[in-house]
Amino acid sequence: MAWTAADIPNLDGKVAVVTGANGGLGLESAKALAGKGAHVVMAARNQAKAAAARDEILAAQPNASLEIIELDLGSFESTKTAAAKIAANHPKIDILINNAGLMAMPERRTADGFEMQLGVNHLGHWLFTTGLLKPILAADSARVVTVTSTAHLTGRIVDPDNVNMEGNYSAWGAYGRAKLANFHFALGLQREFDKHGVKAQSLVAHPGLSHTNLQVHTVEQGGGGRSAPFWAWMARHTGMPADKGALPQLRAATDPNAKGGEFYGPRWGNNGAPVRKPVLRRDVDKGIEKLWLVSERETGVKLDVDAAMETA
């Protein structure tokens, strides 16, 4: 039988952190996790939308345990502050879903001067995850799920000599590169966990073609070119609703049979029930090596499992 949100086990006493929990897949993930008893930290940039999302969940689930933290993944300062606040409030984090992201936008820079899609989709999540490593490792078999896209198959490995794609920017090319970075980050993080023999697990998921505001925002921003309206139409008429699109990341985060290093997505590529998918890229080792080089160099923060273990 197909896996659904009803298969999420009881999460009483668990703490889950979801980035971009103010709408779309993030909101649906927060709603499902809270419905199973988890205390959900809703990390989001837009606080008004986050408050509205919290109210929507509470209207359906009056006993839901929710907390809002301001998080702007396009700012290193905001990201570090958010992670520090969460870590101070929660000695243990059982689930982290790195869900927030941007898609096919015009060329822009983050507050720290990085190409916006890589900066928000990956570099921000790198900093956020490293800032939460201590409570993640303190939990019993925590899960870190990073959300990619089928666009990772079209993406190129980040170039350490041209991190910002200067002189070579394209909206969809930057998106594919950022989602490939998400893919490599999830697999590379699992390698770090394996290397240090910790119980925490890192998985990767993609939602397929889901009808959320992501496509609408792409059209409004004008970054996706002529294909953006087409994909918005496809998502509206053939895509899965957000609650179904969120199932792969929810399964990766909660299925007792899921394991670190695995990849979950819709059965039929862009549609269908959430299933384990093969890792098809053959350049994973190279991708992880370059991503770690760029991430540590540009953020100035090392993903140090040893240090986190010593203080956990």
Q: Is 264 a catalytic residue?
A: no
At 293 the three-state DSSP class reads helix
Mean of all residue pLDDT scores within the chain = 93
73-98: average pLDDT:
98
Pick from 230, 240, 171: nearest CA to 209: 240
Q: Quote the pLDDT of residue 216.
A: 47
User: pLDDT tens across 154-204, in order?
Assistant: 999 999 999 999 999 999 999 999 999 999 999 999 999 999 999 999 999
Distance CA 74, CA 198 (A): 30
Marked catalytic residue, from 169, 284, 290, 301? 169
Q: Quote the pLDDT of residue 214.
A: 58
Question: The pTM is what?
Answer: 0.93
Q: Which of 2-16, 25-39, 272-286, 296-310 has the lowest mean pLDDT?
A: 272-286
Count other C-beta atoms under 10 Å from residue 92's C-beta.
16
Domains along the chain with CATH numbers: 10-311 (3.40.50.720)
